Amino acid sequence: MRSKDKISYFYDGDVGSVYFGPNHPMKPHRLCMTHHLVLSYELHKKMEIYRPHKAYPVELAQFHSADYVEFLHRITPDTQHLFSNELAKYNLAEDCPVFENLFEFCQIYAGGTIDAARRLNNQLCDIAINWAGGLHHAKKCEASGFCYINDLVLGILELLKYHARVLYIDIDVHHGDGVEEAFYCTDRVMTVSFHKFGDLFFPGTGDVKEIGEKEGKFYAINVPLKDGIDDPSFTRLFKTIITKVVETYQPGAVVLQCGADSLAGDRLGCFNLSIDGHAECVRFVKKFNLPLLVTGGGGYTKENVARCWALETGVLLDTDLPNEIPENEYIKYFAPDFSLKIPHGHIENLNSKSYISTIKMQVLENLRCIQHAPSVQMQEVPPDFYIPDFDEDEQNPDERVDQHTQDKDIQRDEEYYEGDNDNDNPVDDV
């Protein structure tokens, strides 16, 4: 059955080929694995597939400081030893190392989220997916928690050109601190984060008492959870809070960060969620029929990340997927049972009924402090950011083009999409 919604999906194979370094838990290779599951389940035939544009430095500087963007653009593994002061200033250390093609990696994942927001703004789709995005910890002037550029903030800024109010929902096991901080003093964006809190768990923020400031007071919602939360507790709490949020805030668009480190068995996580439980949150948000931008996020047991985001792509397409994973290039990673679903975990659930009830009551009480959705005097909508493409004819014929750049112009076999949904070009109609 084909979804009645029009879905745009963004992917560039280059994003999955970067390497954070040995022993680093972030493995962008999980994005290739996700994409190949999407292809093997033939979900690509039910949506429009786009390769995102690489976000220009000036686009990234719509949120980030220009000096930070310029430094990310300039730094390489070979030159980093010359910039120890700047590395410290911008928090580029063990968690956020400098690696080969770092800036291009940022340009691709941020470009995907920006393009997704533009297609939604122009009503070219109902749902836009960028599993490479969702890097919610990055700050205006520094990297944090494996995140360098905050694509979510950039996507929300784009949506705010067309929508008076944008709702941001985060189901990563870590608090969505970078997004919350960016919009902490405005009522134009409501941020709602469900996350582990306490025991010095990263990033250490996200207490229920953090509610926003100035015009943004009561527009930051935090749902701090303890180890071991299970499907019934999580989904019941999620549905209760999100129902009240949508009813009270009346957003024009929703951004949903689907970090998969909240799944059972994650290398860095501590929750008991099954993929079905995680996906139930996606299914629930979809039912509001609001323009929806869906991203990835954390997730460090990469075969489960791929399972989760493939299944959630199916949910967004109203397509049930068989539990047996079809043959694909990464099939060996899903041994021994080659099944899509994973069971819930067995960590002791430290979230008592009384604890969950207390958190729920505090959140709902804060929501009652908002009388009604804030009205915004919308000015003339600013134009979408447009920078003309490079003109090949004007390039200096004597200037040598390096191999890496030449390779970018070669279509890769594994990125072929069949039929009418073959949109494997930079987006130029938004």
φ, ψ dihedrals at 359, nearest 5°: -60, -45
137 is a catalytic site residue: yes
Q: Is 145 annotated as a binding residue?
A: yes
- Whether the Cβ atoms of residue 8 and residue 48 lie closer than 8 Å to each other: yes
Q: Is 195 annotated as a binding residue?
A: no
Q: Is 413 annotated as a binding residue?
A: no
Q: Is 320 annotated as a binding residue?
A: no
Q: Whole-angstrom distance between the N-terminal and C-terminal Cα of the chain?
A: 28
Q: Is 300 annotated as a binding residue?
A: yes
Q: Is 261 annotated as a binding residue?
A: yes
Q: Which of 35, 44, 53, 137 is catalytic?
A: 137
Among residues 228, 243, 242, 308, the alpha carbon closest in space to that of 276 is found at 308
Beta-bridge partners for 316: none
- Whether the Cβ atoms of residue 127 and residue 286 lie closer than 8 Å to each other: yes
Cα dihedral: 427, 297, 320, 233 (round 10): -150
Residue at 236: amino acid letter: R
In this structure, the strands spanning 127-130 and 220-225 are: unpaired
- Whether the Cβ atoms of residue 55 and residue 114 lie closer than 8 Å to each other: yes
Burial 323-335 (b: 16+ CB within 10 A, else e): eebeebebeebbe
Cα dihedral: 370, 372, 375, 381 (round 10): 90
CA distance 121 to 128: 11
Annotated binding site for substrate: 95, 145, 300
Residues annotated as catalytic are 137
- Please state the residue numbers annotated as binding site: 95, 145, 172, 174, 261, 300
Query: Which residues participate in the annotated binding site for a divalent metal cation?
Result: 172, 174, 261
